[in-house]
Each structure stands twice: as structure tokens, then as C-alpha cells.
Amino acid sequence: ENLVFWGGSQAYDPLGKQIKKAPYFEESIITFNLDPSTISLARANRPVIRDIRPEIYQDLYQLSRFHTTQKE
């Protein structure tokens, strides 16, 4: 097996800022710490995520449990 992986994996914070980058063509592991406050900030800046209402998903799940799909 002569598999070659390029490397260059990258980690970004929730705001899109690059935190770490692995080198190319080297075996490596990258680790990083994520500041939980950036998650809240990112959600506040993304209306789709900011406006999520988990209770709606719970209601939809409860309703869908009782309906099965039928093949025609």
C-alpha cells in the first residue's frame, strides 16, 4: 500500500477563524482549545442558528412517531 495523504488538515473556530493547521506531507496530530463563548457569538450572528426553537423539533418528532411510511 503506497497511499500518500497530503495532510494540511485545518481547525477553525465557530466564527471561521483558522486556529491550527497541520503541515503538508508529514504525519502529525493537531489539537486545539475552543472558547465556548465563540459558539454563542457565532450563533447570535447566524439567524438560522440563532432562531432555532428546539421545542418545535420535539413536537415534530412526537407527531412523526405515530406515522409510518407505506409502500404503494
* Strand ranges in the chain using DSSP code E only, listed in sequence order: 10-12, 18-21
User: What are the φ and ψ backbone dihedral angles of 34, each rounded to 5 degrees?
Assistant: -110, 130
pTM of the model: 0.54
Per-residue pLDDT of the chain (72 residues; tens, 9 = 90+): 788 889 999 999 988 899 999 999 999 999 999 888 888 888 777 777 667 777 888 888 888 877 666 655
**Alpha carbon distance 43, 35 (integer Å):** 13
Alpha-carbon separation of residue 61 from 11, 27, 48, 52, 68 (angstroms)? 33, 44, 20, 15, 12
